[in-house]
Structure 1
Amino acid sequence: MVRLCTGLVAVVLLASAAPAQASAPSRFQRFDTMSVFRNTSAGGHTAAEIAAATADGRLVVYTDSPGRRIGFAKTGSKLTPDGVLAMPGEPTSVDIVGNLALVAVNTSESFTAPSGSLLVVDLKSRKVVASHELGGQPDSIDISKDGRYAAIAIENERDEDVNGGAIPQAPGGFLTIVDIRQDPAKWQLRKVELTGIAEVAPGDPEPEYVSINGRNQVAVTLQENNHIAIVDLKSGRITKHFSAGSATVRNVDTEDDGKFDPSETVTAAREPDAVAWLDDHTLGTADEGDYLGGSRTWTVFDADSGKVVFSSGNDLQQIAVRQGQYPDGRSDNKGVEPEGLAVATFGRDKYAFVGLERANLVAVYDVNNPRKPRFLQALPTGVGPEGLLPIPATNTLVVAAEEDSAEDGIRSSLSGYELTRTPLAVSLQRNQGTPSIVSDGISFGALSGLSGIPGNYRDVVSVTDAAYTPTRILTIDTVQAPAKVRKALTLTKDGKPAGYDGEGIAARHKGGYWIAVEGDGKQKPNLLLEVAANGAVTKEIPLPEAVAKTATSNGFEGVTTTGHGKNEQVWLAVQREWKADKTGQATLARYTPATGEWAFAAYPLDAPQAGAWIGLSEITALNDRTLLVLERDNQRGDAARTKKVFRVDISTLKPVTAGAEKPVVTKKLAEDLVPALKADGAATHDKPEGLAVIGTWPLQRLVGVVDNDGLEDAPGESVFLRLGWVR
């Protein structure tokens, strides 16, 4: 039960505008996210990089390089931590055959003295049962489908601090073939030289990634050499090798400037990282780029001829844009940066999964025709998706995201996705399924404020914050599922595009908008903007000087209106305590346009948990007597506790002028947002910052959005919350 206004009320699920389908195409839906520190401790640094699963799919093993260990997780309706095992160095890759995990471990003393071991772990006893010296620093490992061979890329990676990272740098890497036998201690290792075949640095091949097909041929990417080699595992002979070539990609953004401008053309060497066979004659590459290039693409090659049969062009960029996860900060350096690639067959359908390291997405393609991949969907992940693990035995996909920074609230994770036929529109009724908000090509993100539109029962408007410039007002269709950004209006000042840190928006009855601009407590003041319907800023309204001088960097975070015409009043929420405020009290400010007067009241914040703070991030009017205030802590994932909507009765409230003792409002809990934020298996988002009431009593709906911080030190998922009808 939810009490949004006086009397007994309930919020029920929003019915989709689209009818449920009797039969729907299969799609992947996230069901859980497990922070891998749960296998150790919250204070430690950890990273899930590459993962493998047992044949039945019930156990996942992942590498944890900074922790010098491998970790275990059980699968099911949830991903459950199941312990760790120490390694004698940094594990770089893992694969599983039968009940044995093969772990490639880097034990190098330096770049010039590389070394490594292949450790064989019995998964029942969780003990190392054999160890083999590799003679160099390993990277990727793959096991043949028949279990007879393993292939290991011995990279002997370059030192990027030497000569600007230019190659060659001795010693050169190579390929190791492992002949797997019943007794792991008696396995034979064979060395395959890869020197002398590439044009870039033939003496320093830098093998990066391996993948074995059904004919026991291994494809090896020589990333910095921009080359691909194919080796027969039985004989150890190179049967084919060819350059990965370059790609020309048009209509891409190449400037890190806070705006999406797809007006440039990039021609660059592919320099592929991951490689995967689509069938025995066709292979795909994730063209991450590194030393010289980065074409922002993924590519399919005819392995017999070395010819390109498919290139994604600017598709991966467009996918990220449409899903509100384009990393503008990487526009000048490889963009979305495709890095991971995996291919697997689920039932009768074959899928390719392409990991976009900087967009925190996995693009899913139908590759039933390997020469004509067809994009299906994009899956949000943790920060830095590295390991892509399809598990057909359980109809799931597990993604290992490696970035981990407890200080920034970013934790390395395993995310699980299940193959389902439930239509996305049906799942979104329960805040499940992704994406929850899209566009037709309008770039969006950093949705920090939200407002209903008087007289409009379909749309809301949002405002972008300082993550992007210039500031834009986005119109969002809430009836479609997913919600759709259908229009963007640029703010202008004196006829020129203007950039503000817009943190709140309120659509006015007579047209136009109020926008709350957060100041920094120093050079930039907190401002209330009056904005015309065409986006022109007509007035910048500062706080009274006596109040403004008490401001900190935690300023305006929301704005709404009550009344209209001569009775219009503008209410703003200040995020946290200012210098003159009592501990645990934020401020609600009221501005009366008809008189230009400011008045203030105090808002009592919940007490934060240890190591956190709590503040306000949105304010919206339910009616002229009741405000809804969104209060949240600054924590995400497992540490998140407070993401709540409170109801504040202002019918008898008498705010005071600057300097007077502020009355303290009374708040009542209306809605805990944590269940909605976790409903589709995501790690709890830290910044629900937009809340809007659509329609008028008795037909009112409540919706919300999450600020993705423009993907800066954040997972970057754009989230639209459907919080139901208000009865």
Structure 2
Amino acid sequence: MATMAITACKKTSEPIDIEEPIVAEDIASFKETASIDLGGETSAEISAYDPSTKKLFVVSNEGGAKVEVVDLTNYPTVTKLKTISFNSNAGINSVVVNNGLLAIALDGADKQGNGDVVVLKTTDLSEVKKITVGAMPDMVTFSPDGNYILSANEGEPSDDYKVDPKGTISIINIKDNYSVKTLDFAAFESQKATLVAGGFRIYGPNASFAQDIEPEYIAVSSDSKKAYVTLQENNGVAEIDIVSGTITKINPLGTRDISLAENAFDVSDKDSKIALGTWPIKAFYLPDAISYFTTGGTSYLALANEGDTRAWKGYDEEARVKSLKLDPTKFPTAATLQLDANLGRLTVTKAFGDTDGDGDYDELYATGGRSLSILNASTGALVANIGKDLEQHVIDAGKYDDERSDNKGVEVEGVTVAVVNGKTLAFIGMERVDLIAVYDITTPTSPVFVQLFATGDAPEGVLFVKPKDSPNGRSMLVVASEGDGMVKFYQPNKI
């Protein structure tokens, strides 16, 4: 059956046309074919590609708010053309390209104040429009039809937690002279009890429901009618009706049960071994990137379950298991469990788990799913979870960082789903081990491992370019790594 996908790299998304001819390529042969060094740490974070000009636009926050413009015309020779600088202390969070337009997400001068989406022409980089959106626009994307720009405005609190803006979604109507509608989540406060019972997290100090929500990342359906937004710290996904400009649903994501063999974790960085095991804990998924795709006539969401916490000076939810008082009935072997070689070093949240309010913990919740989960887009039902298998492949390759076992493991941060040679592939970015894993998810209920390859330090942006758009007619994966400023380009062999 023909397959269609919406690809979503960290902070960008792009549709794949069902009518495109299949290019014969070996899906297990992606290798580096070019690279460019854009500087030091934070100089290469997110990228977006314009097929009409063969320019790559890369977010850089090294020494100011900038977008680096890279020329791929003579690929595999890759050349930096120029730097777009913004006279602001604000950071740039995201870039995306569609139909000759470049949209840039820019924090406000006051980080807890409103931010902006700046739209430029990709040809001459002239400004088309500057649109005010909500606080801290963390990710910006176009709808596949090019009619809308959407911004996930995270609304993080100040470090002292005295200022906590609302988390919002902005919908910009390009055809209506870039008019903007910014949505908050206040209407869902009446559903709080039901959502929390399903594993949704509402817990910021003195925060209203709307203030507590922190939108992170957006994927848009192929028909441009719906958007799906990860609410990372809240452990949920929101559904947006783009045309009517309304938030229609919040889907709480629940938890992974690490006592089950299929969900095994390595929980200690002080046990002198690397081993995935079962433990009497659960894990909140806390997804970062999200990708929408359709295969077999059904639409799905792929979630990169990085894990993120509220760890501010004014409020810090993080704790190690050994620092908590455990309920003796629920944890009869607490003294043994709390040894450093067991659960003692594991980072958990202290905001959840005291279910009866008596001051000790009846349940333990790790922060991050350490996995890629696949959901049915319509129902929100979990259909597959790539976690244990993913980490085991990293271990088998000798690339697992045991120093991260106590906190996020391989740290699954980015995902983009794309079609290569008729197969639907998930490209999974792992920040702490500097790797991309490729899985065949053509049958979403039965993911199959394909390949593992190295990236720069701390891969952040994962962008797929279709063969018809790439500079040499072959599939291309572009990975921007924030740890060392490297942008690397990977392509498969032709068959």
Specify if TM > 0.5.
Answer: yes
Out of 52, 68, 73, the residue aligned to residue 71 of structure 1 is 68
Aligned-partner Cα distance in 2 for 1:57–1:287: 34
Which deviates further from its counterpart, 391-400 or 51-60? 51-60
Q: CA deviation at 1:366?
A: 1.4
Change (3 A) 1:377 1:284: same
Structure 1 unaligned residues grouped into runs of 5+: 1-22, 38-43, 164-168, 404-410, 423-727
Out of 328, 349, 369, the residue aligned to residue 402 of structure 2 is 328
What's 1:177 paired with?
171
Deviations 1:436-458 (A, max 9, x none): xxxxxxxxxxxxxxxxxxxxxxx
What's 2:238 paired with?
229
Q: CA deviation at 1:46?
A: 4.5
Q: CA deviation at 1:209?
A: 0.5
Aligned-partner Cα distance in 2 for 1:208–1:157: 10
Q: Does residue 262 in structure 1 map to residue 270 in structure 2?
A: no
Out of 34, 37, 50, the residue aligned to residue 35 of structure 1 is 37
Of structures 1 and 2, the one scoring higher in RCO (CA 8 A, sep 6+) is 2
Out of 389, 401, 419, the residue aligned to residue 492 of structure 2 is 419
Q: CA deviation at 1:327?
A: 1.1
Q: CA deviation at 1:158?
A: 3.0
**8 Å Cα contact 2:133-2:182 kept in structure 1:** no
**8 Å Cα contact 2:375-2:384 kept in structure 1:** yes
What's 1:106 paired with?
107
**8 Å Cα contact 2:133-2:151 kept in structure 1:** no
RMSD of equivalent CA atoms:
2.3
Q: CA deviation at 1:349?
A: 2.4
Aligned-partner Cα distance in 2 for 1:372–1:108: 47
SS of equivalent to 2:106: strand
Deviations 1:385-444 (A, max 9, x none): 1110000122110001001xxxxxxx211010012147xxxxxxxxxxxxxxxxxxxxxx
Q: Does residue 127 in structure 1 map to residue 126 in structure 2?
A: yes
SS of equivalent to 1:134: strand
Out of 246, 250, 264, the residue aligned to residue 251 of structure 1 is 264
Q: Does residue 374 in structure 1 map to residue 433 in structure 2?
A: no
Aligned-partner Cα distance in 2 for 1:276–1:137: 21
Aligned-partner Cα distance in 2 for 1:174–1:277: 20
Q: Could you tell me which amino acid in structure 1 is paired with residue 68 of structure 2? A: G
Q: Could you tell me which amino acid in structure 1 is paired with residue 45 of structure 2? A: E
Change (3 A) 1:252 1:396: same
Q: CA deviation at 1:142?
A: 1.3
Aligned-partner Cα distance in 1 for 2:101–2:278: 49
**8 Å Cα contact 1:254-1:264 kept in structure 2:** no
Aligned-partner Cα distance in 2 for 1:347–1:24: 7
Deviations 1:573-603 (A, max 9, x none): xxxxxxxxxxxxxxxxxxxxxxxxxxxxxxx
Q: Does residue 275 in structure 1 map to residue 290 in structure 2?
A: yes
What's 1:449 paired with?
none
Q: CA deviation at 1:101?
A: 0.4
Aligned-partner Cα distance in 1 for 2:390–2:374: 14
Change (3 A) 1:157 1:187: same
Deviations 1:548-584 (A, max 9, x none): xxxxxxxxxxxxxxxxxxxxxxxxxxxxxxxxxxxxx
Q: CA deviation at 1:347?
A: 4.3
What's 2:346 paired with?
none
Q: CA deviation at 1:159?
A: 4.0
Aligned-partner Cα distance in 1 for 2:410–2:253: 19
Deviations 1:48-91 (A, max 9, x none): 11111113582211111233010111221133222210123311
What's 1:344 paired with?
418
The 5-angstrom pairing of residues 9-24 of structure 1 reads none
Which deviates further from its counterpart, 171-180 or 257-266? 257-266
What's 2:431 paired with?
357
**8 Å Cα contact 2:134-2:182 kept in structure 1:** no
Change (3 A) 1:232 1:347: farther
Q: Could you tell me which amino acid in structure 2 is paired with residue 290 of structure 1? A: D
- Aligned-pair identity in percent equals 30
Q: Does residue 187 in structure 1 map to residue 178 in structure 2?
A: yes
**8 Å Cα contact 1:108-1:137 kept in structure 2:** no
Change (3 A) 1:413 1:277: same
What's 2:249 paired with?
240
Aligned-partner Cα distance in 1 for 2:445–2:276: 27
**8 Å Cα contact 1:153-1:209 kept in structure 2:** yes
TM-score, normalising length from structure 1?
Answer: 0.50
SS of equivalent to 2:233: helix
Aligned-partner Cα distance in 1 for 2:308–2:119: 31
What's 1:384 paired with?
458
**8 Å Cα contact 1:27-1:421 kept in structure 2:** no
Q: CA deviation at 1:162?
A: 4.2
Structure with higher strand content: 1
Aligned-partner Cα distance in 2 for 1:296–1:304: 24
**8 Å Cα contact 2:28-2:450 kept in structure 1:** no
SS of equivalent to 2:135: coil
Change (3 A) 1:232 1:323: same
What's 2:16 paired with?
none
Change (3 A) 1:372 1:237: farther
Q: CA deviation at 1:24?
A: 5.7
Q: How many residues align?
A: 378
Q: Could you tell me which amino acid in structure 2 is paired with residue 287 of structure 1? A: N
The 5-angstrom pairing of residues 85-100 of structure 1 reads 85-87=84-86, 88=88, 89-100=90-101
Q: Could you tell me which amino acid in structure 2 is paired with residue 146 of structure 1? A: D
Change (3 A) 1:159 1:244: farther
Change (3 A) 1:220 1:420: same
Aligned-partner Cα distance in 2 for 1:232–1:372: 30
Q: CA deviation at 1:129?
A: 2.8
What's 2:392 paired with?
318
SS of equivalent to 1:342: strand
Q: Could you tell me which amino acid in structure 1 is paired with residue 481 of structure 2? A: A
SS of equivalent to 1:225: coil
**8 Å Cα contact 2:288-2:305 kept in structure 1:** yes
Aligned-partner Cα distance in 1 for 2:173–2:412: 32
Q: Could you tell me which amino acid in structure 2 is paired with residue 319 of structure 1? A: H
What's 1:209 paired with?
217
Work out which of the two has the higher radius of gyration on C-alpha atoms and give 1 or 2: 1
Structure 2 unaligned residues grouped into runs of 5+: 1-24, 203-208, 310-348, 350-366
What's 2:136 paired with?
137
**8 Å Cα contact 1:31-1:78 kept in structure 2:** no
Change (3 A) 1:375 1:398: same
Change (3 A) 1:345 1:57: farther
Q: Could you tell me which amino acid in structure 2 is paired with residue 416 of structure 1? A: F
Q: CA deviation at 1:343?
A: 1.2
Q: Could you tell me which amino acid in structure 2 is paired with residue 263 of structure 1? A: G
Q: Could you tell me which amino acid in structure 1 is paired with residue 482 of structure 2? A: E
What's 1:523 paired with?
none
Q: Does residue 294 in structure 1 map to residue 285 in structure 2?
A: no
**8 Å Cα contact 1:267-1:295 kept in structure 2:** no
**8 Å Cα contact 2:26-2:492 kept in structure 1:** no
SS of equivalent to 1:353: strand
Change (3 A) 1:223 1:389: same
Out of 399, 403, 410, the residue aligned to residue 479 of structure 2 is 399
Deviations 1:476-506 (A, max 9, x none): xxxxxxxxxxxxxxxxxxxxxxxxxxxxxxx
Aligned-partner Cα distance in 2 for 1:91–1:310: 34
TM-score, normalising length from structure 2?
Answer: 0.72
